[in-house]
Amino acid sequence: MSLNIANRKVEEKAILASRILGTNKTAAVEYALDYYLKHHRSPSEHDNDIQEASRLLDEIAELPVIDKRKADEIIGYDENGLPCK
pLDDT tens-digit series, residues 55-74: 999 999 999 999 988 877 78
Closest CA to 17 of 8, 6, 30, 5: 30
Q: Is 32 exposed, middle or buried (0-12, 13-18, 19+ CB in 10 A)?
A: middle
Find out whether 18 and 28 touch, Cβ atoms under 8 Å: yes
Query: Residues 6 or more apart from 64 whose CB is under 8 A from it?
Result: none
pLDDT at 36: 92
Q: Which residue has the higher pLDDT, 77 or 63?
A: 63
pTM for the full predicted model: 0.50
pLDDT band of residue 25 (cuts 50, 70, 90) is very high
**pLDDT confidence of 47, banded at 50, 70, 90?**
confident
